[in-house]
Structure 1
């Protein structure tokens, strides 16, 4: 009924665009949050087959999922508590971001116990005020890192930070971050760290800020085909289509209330189509009264409140019947950017919000071989659906 079609050719195309823009810099495909809802393992394979050389995730669990799938490319993980047990990361050759001396010392103890040096990327906070060592704490982190590297407990593989904004090249905050990152790099070089990979650029910076590319860029949303800079197009291709099926239609008279609370009342005789996709599947409740879907190639509104498992579409006088295909967003329907606007959010939340019960069906080519349409559980859920 409801499923997400993931076009791996689009992932490959977008990776090619990003590697071209990156120039001499390597590309880290950010596949956190289950590949922004697309499936981290298939996306990682497609990106690596088209020029990416690194993978980025937040958690140990995400990193180990990739390693468990046999993916041996370098992986950086960056979100964990200072005292978390990271034995698996070291044993699986997963690089680890470090933002504090406390976290570094805990990692050093793990490395000593395992007899295996940890590969780390030291993170400087240049203005995002999330992870990363502040300018005041950065010198101490460098000092501790130097001692631990000399003791063979760690290898400093990278120095990095994260931009708060890269969409507007004239933004003063962006320039301050670039300057502060320059100071952090200079301090690291003075402390003896002259060989690590330097990385800063997100999707927007990778595409339009050469001064932020350094040795490695870390595209996230652009990898999935969402243009990261308002008003500019770099030829990215959306990789996900969310589609469903009409399961019931009914003709209703003027004055009929629709869904909970009867926030919507039909003004004229019309046909209502029931679609089994609700907020448990990733349809935000906030789109009530705003969102549209495509049926028979025609945009029609979702009416009434979005429920947990279903929405109602006013199809007017279109000849719609049970079994017809409905495109919520993607190829042949509204864009994920439109859905983000309707929900007062960003495309990232729309994509990552697609629920776990929605099967992901993969099409296209990855690593030189055809990926057949398939589902994690029931293959019939990913059988070709005829356009309505």
Structure 2
């Protein structure tokens, strides 16, 4: 039996996808399930997404794509982050669309099997993966030659925003302009660009001009706003992280808590021991700042968060060993949300859910 549980509401996940489809009704929808589906569990989330009618799934690494195929997934699937020596032959055999970000990578994919399905990535200003300037020119020329020879099938062209979570940032207009020019360049070279996609969750909600043929829905599908500045009121959090009190003790004023004695009680109070810590992916930087949900209200974390446990201040509330504690969830019962923990830890909500690891058990509601 695990000390702590992640409860994933698949019905809510499906509802979120439907709500987000309404923002881009004329575009195909890709559910992004990379990084263990943002900590929610790749295979159950992917199956729920397929059941909800998504057109594509998206993952980062080749292994993520191959694991999905091994689970029985057979629909359109894009992989976009590969290093030299990647298992392109296995990806091609598994009918995975593979992204090429440069000429050498394109040739490696082309040599991996019979007419692989390739999507081309253009760097429009994020300066991560993808090709730009002369690199893009060369990639377009190589793709045109290989497609003309029947060696590859170009199925898409895409890029990624740097600042879609800041809708008024000038980078957004610039990147969309660069993307449109890149698509036109590909078409002028005689290559059908296939599925054109640029929009992530934030752009799907705030920037209709960027929808093109497909939108990639990641964080918002899990019910988390892309940024507090980009609220999506139609979605709700899918994940609840909960456990029970492992110990309860009454301590006097002056009692100090956890490593370093970074908090001391200014009154007599009740402390509750919560059996999760940074070994489960709980941010140590949230020490003395985060809160948990307890008995319909919140209780502050006191002292340093440890590897396996943290301490909360329950004040004068009645508490017993075994009482439920919710670290974060939708907020329906007064508990914090992942965004609240992000604010306490000085990070983003993406990281709060994605880094959950270690000794959690997972319960899926709404499996079909």
2:197 is aligned to 199
Q: How does 1:360-379 map to 2 (within 5 A)?
A: 360-365=362-367, 369=368
2:187 is aligned to 189
DSSP-derived class of the 1:28 partner: strand
Mapped to 1, the partners of 2:84 and 2:117 lie a distance apart of 16
Q: Deviations over 1:192-222 (max 9, x none)?
A: 1235110000001111211100111101100
Mapped to 2, the partners of 1:77 and 1:314 lie a distance apart of 45
DSSP-derived class of the 1:52 partner: coil
Mapped to 1, the partners of 2:349 and 2:83 lie a distance apart of 28
1:374 is aligned to none
1:382 is aligned to none
Q: Deviations over 1:136-184 (max 9, x none)?
A: 2111101111111122221100000000011333321110001111110
- TM superposition score normalised by structure 2: 0.96
Mapped to 1, the partners of 2:73 and 2:112 lie a distance apart of 24
1:89 is aligned to 91
Deviation at 1:86, TM superposition (A): 1.6
Greater Cα shift, 230-239 or 183-192: 230-239
Mapped to 1, the partners of 2:223 and 2:51 lie a distance apart of 17
Deviation at 1:246, TM superposition (A): 0.2
2:226 is aligned to 228
1:315 is aligned to 314
When the two chains are superposed, the root-mean-square deviation of aligned CA atoms in Å is: 1.2
2:167 is aligned to 169
Equivalent residue for 2:217, pick from 199, 202, 219: 219
**Contact 2:245 / 2:324 at 8 angstroms: preserved in 1?**
yes
Deviation at 1:227, TM superposition (A): 1.7
DSSP-derived class of the 1:27 partner: strand
Q: How does 1:1-388 map to 2 (within 5 A)?
A: 1-111=3-113, 116-231=114-229, 232-331=231-330, 332=333, 333-365=335-367, 369=368
Deviation at 1:282, TM superposition (A): 1.7
Q: Deviations over 1:70-108 (max 9, x none)?
A: 111111001111332321100000000110001011112
- For structure 2, the residue ranges without an aligned partner over 5 or more in a row are none
DSSP-derived class of the 1:301 partner: strand
DSSP-derived class of the 1:21 partner: coil
DSSP-derived class of the 1:110 partner: coil
Distance change >3 Å, CA 229–CA 311, structure 1 → 2: closer
**Contact 1:279 / 1:285 at 8 angstroms: preserved in 2?**
yes
Greater Cα shift, 238-247 or 189-198: 189-198
Mapped to 2, the partners of 1:52 and 1:85 lie a distance apart of 26
**Contact 1:16 / 1:51 at 8 angstroms: preserved in 2?**
no
**Contact 1:202 / 1:218 at 8 angstroms: preserved in 2?**
yes
Greater Cα shift, 334-343 or 164-173: 164-173
Q: Deviations over 1:280-321 (max 9, x none)?
A: 112100001110011111211110100000001110111101
1:379 is aligned to none
Distance change >3 Å, CA 316–CA 169, structure 1 → 2: closer
Mapped to 1, the partners of 2:192 and 2:86 lie a distance apart of 29
Deviation at 1:44, TM superposition (A): 1.1
Mapped to 1, the partners of 2:17 and 2:51 lie a distance apart of 9
DSSP-derived class of the 1:122 partner: strand
- TM superposition score normalised by structure 1: 0.91
DSSP-derived class of the 2:217 partner: coil
Mapped to 2, the partners of 1:356 and 1:87 lie a distance apart of 32
Greater Cα shift, 67-76 or 162-171: 162-171
DSSP-derived class of the 1:34 partner: helix
Distance change >3 Å, CA 23–CA 269, structure 1 → 2: same
